[in-house]
Chain A
């Protein structure tokens, strides 16, 4: 084991990305046999081009080596119409060579600094930090940070053969890009949902159209010219199963015609891609939870559990449990 180098805990500075990637690719290659090194272009997409910003805190040695990172993917969020941020904790790491040299684990030190810098209420702060941690990170996080369970994260899954979309006068159109009026649809949806990440055109373009990892298919439904629903699909792996993934879903929960049109498109897309099953992720408190079950989906366990810590007494975890709407697209899992 090396001697403890002098280090400082601080926010990301331009140029740190090279040290971050060196440490990231070295550490994760050791623990994940399927790991593919992250490229600088991929890093820039995730941390520089997200319209909602960047969240990175680091433990950096005097010689520039990155010893630990606590990072998040921020999301602009509307809570009861008021703007704020959430951030999904991702890519947290501590170089095993140094992680136990300090009085308390570097991961914890950096995590605390991250909380202090970004956590809070109001339009500039992260009201909620959340994640779907691996067990080891969860055990540390609940003990030394503020991780709390929101729910065991179940999925909705169905063989395509069981899904029979109902008739609807509307039709979903497959698009190559999100249209301008995605902003208005996102605003209306946020009003209906009470707690939801902004899904405006800029965010959706970044998340799906410009994504360097995956190719997504998207579709929209219009009624009398107005955009009333969008869905995002891709074939891929979630929870170690290769499925058709309903990655995003933005439609008025009670508007059966819109939902049926999107649903018909998603099923057709899944068939066209040769999928046997369709899988979706929504909170069990969302209206879609029962609606999808009534359409033929079954609730299945996953290995994931959603953890979070809220900085707001008003929008605490019970509130989030009841009102926060999210899909697979909110996570970095699909």
Chain B
């Protein structure tokens, strides 16, 4: 693809292509208002995000004299919407080198990204948890609107076992049985990221930097539920994170075992808490509160931009299943 915009002084805006080398310098700390959670520092981490994502690549870079001076991108996610497969894109924090102008570089870069991917036949929804600058940029120039304040359900692990309870196994990878589990659960939601083995293995098992613990409960050859656990004391002020949770509603035994397993992991890591996130309408929000979790707001605001008015923020609020797996790109 040629540059969308180029000037004689060597300035250009265009999509990054997978046949190009990694451009790690695009994610070096520059003018970000906050420490970017996702910061690839190796070719492996870059490749994971931008070459191996089963949903494709969404990254635009601005270069001046061959040097990257700005980035705008996201990680696309195949998403089931009213039974059809569409694409949502989870936006990354943008980046702009010091001395460069928001209006002259970052805004046109972001608009080029939107023009390339944001049409009705492209990404149905762009979403993210922007810092202050990206919030302003998105609302002024990219049709972003607030969806909600990210809220966490959190509790202390409390005393108890540190080993996984009986009936819970640690999975190395997800197999085809998770596709069946997702297909059963997805009927409860009008929109959800397709949590099949391809997505989950890429998102968690094959992550080159982070260690996610994949906890599963089986009944014979059937996967009854899974939980994805992650602990990094630097993240979100320190609780262990229940990154993802998929259990058939009503399977109380699997739920109890998986939650007990996640709490055991948190105790073993000496985490001061365990935190999860679900949509406010989800029965799991009530279930987790019944298990001692309290509902805490955060400072993170979720924004969305829908390419189709029908799927606006009100629809997304009431119909889109999402967990921390949909929120945190690490």
Contact = CB atoms under 8 A, between A and B. Distances in A.
Interface string A207-235: 00000000000000000000000000000
A193 B76 CA distance: 42
B289 interface: yes
B146 A135 contact: no
A287 interface: no
B145 A293 contact: no
Contact of B285 (A290, A299, A305): A299
Interface stretch (B3-11, B246-254, B293-301): B293-301
B148 A152 contact: yes
Contact of B280 (A148, A154, A293, A294): A154
B281 A284 contact: no
Given A152-B280, A293-B289, A299 B148 contact: no
A251 to B, nearest CB: 20
Contact of B294 (A148, A152, A294, A300): A294
Given A139-B312, A298-B286, A299-B289, A149 B147 contact: yes
A151 B149 CA distance: 6
B299 to A, nearest CB: 8
Given A138-B314, A152-B280, A293-B289, A299 B295 contact: yes
B294 A149 contact: no
Interface string A284-314: 1100011001100011110001000000000
Contact of A149 (B145, B281, B289, B290): B145
A295 to B, nearest CB: 11
A321 B296 contact: no
A142 B313 CA distance: 11
Interface string B299-320: 0000000000000111001000
A284 B295 contact: yes
A222 to B, nearest CB: 31
Nearest to A303: B318
Contacts of B294: 290, 293-294
Contacts of A285: 297
B15 interface: no
Q: Which of B148, B295, B296, B317 has the most CB of A within 10 A?
A: B295
B151 interface: yes
B211 to A, nearest CB: 31
Contacts of B149: 151-152, 284, 321
Contacts of B295: 154, 284, 289, 293, 299
A149 B145 CA distance: 8
Contacts of A293: 289, 294-295
Interface string A261-297: 0000000000000000000000011000110011000
A142 B280 contact: no
B167 to A, nearest CB: 28
A50 B150 CA distance: 36
B43 to A, nearest CB: 38
Contacts of A151: 148-149, 297
Contacts, number: 49
Interface string B255-283: 00000000000000000000000011100
A306 B295 CA distance: 18
Interface magnitude class on chain B: 20 to 34
A183 to B, nearest CB: 32
Contacts of B285: 299, 301
Given A149-B147, A301-B280, A290 B296 contact: yes
Interface string A100-142: 0000000000000000000000000000000000010011001
Interface in A146-167: 148-149, 151-152, 154
Contacts of B286: 298, 300
A226 B49 CA distance: 62
Contacts of B280: 152, 154, 299-301
Nearest to A302: B280
Contacts of B279: 301
B131 to A, nearest CB: 12
Contacts of A294: 294
A152 B279 CA distance: 11
A142 B279 CA distance: 23
Contacts of A289: 295, 297
Contacts of A152: 148-149, 280, 317
Contact of A301 (B147, B281, B296, B297): B281
A289 B295 CA distance: 8
A299 B290 CA distance: 11
A148 B146 contact: yes
B296 A298 contact: no
Q: Which of A135, A294, A300 has the most CB of B within 10 A?
A: A300
A284 B289 contact: no
A130 B146 CA distance: 16
A243 B147 CA distance: 28
A6 to B, nearest CB: 34
A285 B297 CA distance: 7
Nearest to A294: B294
Contacts of B312: 139
Nearest to A285: B297
A274 B286 CA distance: 24
A149 B302 CA distance: 11
Q: Which of B148, B149, B312 has the most CB of A within 10 A?
A: B149
Given A138-B314, A284-B151, A285-B297, A298 B289 contact: yes
13 contacts: A139-B314, A149-B146, A151-B148, A284-B296, A285-B297, A289-B297, A294-B294, A298-B289, A299-B289, A300-B280, A301-B279, A301-B281, A321-B149
Interface of B: 145-149, 151, 279-281, 285-286, 289-290, 294-297, 312-314, 317
* 5 tightest A-B CB contacts, nearest first: A301-B280, A299-B295, A149-B146, A284-B297, A301-B281
